[in-house]
Structure formats: structure tokens, C-alpha cells
Structure 1
């Protein structure tokens, strides 16, 4: 075998072309996040509410008498009520949390100093205080970004739901022949059903985890239990790491609040039971044993989206990967992307 047969030929023009596209997309994601995040969240809400609209039609006795327009109105009213309640609760809790931030920083520094003395380590070289303040700042910025775009997200969701029935027809019209158009509609319906099933079931499971977390924290007298319940709903979309954060973050706040290990250990134990039962018993029964996603790619995705979009990006990272995998799995020529994202090379 000669060198020409074994070498890889790279086209500098194509490399430059795709490099420009990549940097352009990166700039758009970073500087346009105030607009892009509400659009992405709007798409997710529209998919979930489509399932809600179908569920309303299945209500015994009255469901069969409801037409599409009335069902859509009911669904939108439910959306408005949920968004307003959660936004108000989260906003007030975050505002109160900000008032406690200096106290928590002081207690955190004291705790780190005590641990440093026991292990004979100079904590000032570690910069624990600045790192803790930076984490709180990143945390608060992410939540503020979502709260400041609630209305825009709702508008995108509403218009997407209004045009939902027209999307298959638009895609089919681009196919050309009638046979291709029918195939496009079948593929689209398959993709839409898979996405809808995943997001709907994952949302229900995450809501169950959030309610259980809120109940535990409220029972133990932990401050901002409602805030943690809402945040656990979102971070539960992150596999493995989400379960750890769902226990560790409330436990850290409880430690700073009580300054005693006994109640913290009880909280950790109860929250671990919640995460274990829901994550290992309930969720696999409805979503399968596990997502067939490469842990390495999941970690890269979490790091990337978390760096550019904060906590919201970490929430969206894995669902976006799932959606990309589901879509590419059913489009000829893009199956390799689904294989690349998988853990075992199977689509």
C-alpha cells in the first residue's frame, strides 16, 4: 500500500468554510442568547402542551364534547396559570435568597476555614470565597435570564401551538413528488411522537421529583424549599449529574442554614431515597432502562451549554441531544450522528 492510498486528503477551502460557519454559530449562540433561549424553551413547552391538549381530550365524559379550539384555550390557560405561579414563587424566593447571600458566604468561609485547619490546608490559596460568590452569581444570572423572558417564551409557545398542524404540510410541500411528501409526513409524525413522548414523560417524572424534594425540605424547615423544588425539576433533566446536584445543592444550603450535621445528614438521606426510587424504579419503567447516550458526549454537552447559557443551558443540553438523536435516527444520511451520540454504537 503506497502513501497516497493510506493518507487523508483535506480540502483547505472546506475547512475554512466550516470554520467560519462554526464561529458564526458560536457567536450567535453567545450574543443572541436573550432571543434564542426563549425560542428553544418555547419549542419545548409547545411539545409538552401538545401532549396536555391530547390528555384533555381523554377526560372522561366531557373530553369527547370539547372541540380543538376549546381544548387549545384550556391548555393555554393552564400554561398561563403554571407559568405565573412558578415565576412568582421563584422570583420572590430568589429575591429573598439574595438577601441571605452575605450571611451564607460568611458561614461558607467559616466552614471552609474550619475544614482547612483540620487538614492543615491554607484555604486562602484555594480562593473558596470568590469561587462560592462566583457560583452564586452564575446561578442568579441564569435564573434572571429565564424570568426576564417569561412573556417572550409564552408568546413563542402560543404561536407555535397555533401553527403546529401546518408544519407537516409545509415540510411535505418541500418534498416535490407526492410519494416523497407522504414519506416526509410519516417520518415527521414518527419524530414528533418520539419527541413528545420523551419530553412529556420526563416532565412528569421531573415534576414528581420536584414535589417530593419540596416536601422533604419543607418538612425539615429548610429555607427556600419552593425554589429548590422548582430548580430540581429542571436539573432532573440532566442524567446522573442532575440527581447528584438535586441532593448536594439543597444539602449545602441546609448546612449553611443549620450549621449542624445531623439535620443535613437526614436531608441527604431522604433526598437520596427520593432520587433513587424515582430515578431507578419509576423512570426506567416509563422511559426505558437508560438513555443510549455517550457519557463523554453528555459531559461535553453539559460543559459547552453550561458555559454559554448557564443553568438553562445545562437543562437544555441533554434534551437537545435526545431530540437530535431521535431526528437523525429517522433521516436518511444522518443516521451516523445518532450512532456517534450513542454509548454502544446502536441507534
Structure 2
């Protein structure tokens, strides 16, 4: 009995070591091929979203395949064009206010340092303020550059979408793993879009009602960043803080700029989202955070947007096989029991 238990532990150790090595190898490959893989993954997601519209044209309307592809591409192009225009407008606004944003952040830090010096805490104020005023505009423009880089991949994404649509068999009913993946991603995208839109409208109305400058820009950033679970809402809530400190003298107004949007995020995240996302992705919050860190490290901001649906797909694939089912349970937050460990050891 002890020898069998020892063998199970050895098998677990060997499997775990191989999986770690495989993950490292795949990570290096994904980093090396990011310029191709990011557009390809985006094309897969876009194709998954528009597939019902394409299938309806081919099966029900009996359109020729090339006509259905052309019509679907026009819809995709129209949606991407609207999104690109919004990105360009936000990019121009961010670049226009980048220097002012850095100066306002520097003014905020100066006030903090004055408070610290009044308490006899000595800090090199001039150096830190200069670094903030120089680096904040750089970070803003770099972030906007990342968004513009995503737009520049649009041509390659469209090419991949064309080939994926031409290779799709609209008459074959999809079952099994791929059907679960398509359903999960469509539901996730629709539900997150509703949540992001609702959050952005409410936050935008609050910031506009408080008289905050660039309220529409911060609302747009809320809409985009809400697609990044957990982290995005925190970042979106804190972004208007330097503008609020520079614009308002009343500390209650400054607190309201952060507290009310934070309350909106908490209410929607804790009450609205769980009811709207009835099926859920069956991912534990720790799994979500680790996936955000992993894909953010590999693919940057784009990877953070794609992290959750990718991890949900990985969980679905792992759950389909008896050997890897304990890993899927682990991603869901359900630790595998002794029986499942023995199953894996076999």
C-alpha cells in the first residue's frame, strides 16, 4: 500500500514537472510568435461571434459562400471601424491632456510631500515630482500606443477571419468541446458588453454630474477596462483622481469622484453580474488573477483582455479528458480529492 502511494506521488511529481516545462516552452513560443498569434486569436474570437450570422446566410438564406463571407466581413468591418474611431478619439484626447495630466499628478504628490514634511518626514521631493511629470505622459502615450497597435493588426485579423469563414462547415451541427467553447465565449462577450456598457454609462453620468473634466473619456476607459476582471475596475476608478485633486478644492468632491464609481463597480460586480452571468465561466477568482498575470506578461494589455476567455476554454478542454479533469476542477476552485488523484496517477 505504501509503495502504491509512493508511486502515485512520483507520478504526480513527474506529470507536474512535465507540465511546468511544457508551459514554459509554450510561453516562449507565444512570446516569439505574438505578432501573428494575437491577430489569429482575435480572428478566432471574431469568427466565433459572427458565426451564427454567417451560418444563417448559408443555411437559411442559401447565399453562396463568398456572398455570405463578404456580407459578414462588411458587418465586422463596420463594427471594427466604429471601435477604431472611438479609440482614435480617445487617443487624441489622451495625448492632448498627457502633459497636463502629469503636471496634475505632480501637484498631487507635492501636496502629499508637504503633508509629510509637516510631520518631519524628509523626502527628495523635487526628484520624485520631476520623474512623475516626465513619466506619466509617457505612460499615457504608451498605453494609447498599445491600443493603436491593436488597431494596426486589423488587416491581418481580417485575413484570418476570411480563411476561417471559408473553412467553416455551416451545415454540420457542432457538439462536444468546440460547441461548449463557442457557447461559452458568446455568452461571456455579450454579458461583459452589457456589464461594461451599464457601468460606463452610470460612471459617466456621475462624473459629468460632479463636473469633472473629460468625464466622457473616463467613461470610455471604464467601458474598455471593465473587460479586464477585477483589475480593470480598480484602475478605471483611480484614473480620474489626479484631475479631481487639481480641479476641486473640496475634499468631499474628490472623495465622491472615487467613492461613487467604486460603489457602482461593487454593486454591479457583486449583484448585477452574478445574476446576469447565470452559467458563469466556472473559474475561481485566483485562477482569473493568475491568468491575467500570465497572459499580461506574455501579450501585454491585449493578453489581459483575452486572458479570461482563453482560460475558460482551457478549462473546458481539460474537463473533457479523465486524466486532466482534476486540473479543470482546480481551475474552478474545487480541489481534487484522493480518488481523482489516483485516477490521474493511473
Conserved? CA contact 1:195–1:326, under 8 Å: no
Unpaired stretches in structure 1, ≥5 consecutive residues = 58-63, 170-183
Q: Deviations over 1:238-283 (max 9, x none)?
A: 333232223222x225326625445443333442343244323332
Determine if the alignment matches structure 1 residue 50 to structure 2 residue 58.
Answer: no
User: Please, what TM-score do these two structures have when normalized by structure 1?
Assistant: 0.74
1:208 and 2:212 equivalent? no
Asked if residue 33 in structure 1 is aligned to residue 37 in structure 2, the reply is no
The answer to whether the Cα contact below 8 Å between 2:95 and 2:141 also exists between their aligned partners in 1 is no
- Please list, as runs of the form range in 1=range in 2, the aligned pairs for 1:183-262 lying within 5 A after superposition: 185-220=175-210, 222-249=212-239, 251-252=240-241, 254-255=243-244, 258-260=247-249, 261-262=251-252
Separation in structure 2 between the aligned mates of residue 32 and residue 117 of structure 1, nearest angstrom: 49
Aligned residue pairs, count: 324
Q: Residue 145 of structure 1: which of 135, 149, 152 is its match?
A: 149
Q: Which region of structure 1 is more displaced relative to structure 2, 236-245 or 335-344? A: 236-245
Aligned position for 2:78: 81
The two structures have a TM-score, normalised by structure 2, of: 0.74
**After the TM superposition, which of the residue ranges 224-233 and 41-50 deviates more from structure 2?**
224-233
CA contact (8 A) 2:284 2:332 kept: yes
Contact 1:105 1:132 in 2 (8 A): yes
How much has 1:108 moved relative to structure 2? 0.8
Residue 106 (structure 2) aligns with: 109
Q: CA deviation at 1:104?
A: 1.5
Q: Residue 206 of structure 1 contacts residue 236 of structure 1 at CA under 8 Å; is this kept in 2?
A: yes
Instruction: Name the counterpart of 2:297.
Output: 307
Using the TM superposition, give the Cα deviation of residue 292 of structure 1 relative to its aligned residue in structure 2, in angstroms: 3.5
1:22 deviates by 4.4
Structure 2: how far apart are the matches of 1:142 and 1:329? 34
Q: Kindly tell me: are residues 38 and 259 of structure 1, through their superposed partners in 2, closer, same or farther at Cα, counting changes over 3 Å? A: farther
Unaligned runs of 5+ in 2: 337-346
- What value does the CA root-mean-square deviation take over the aligned residues? 4.0
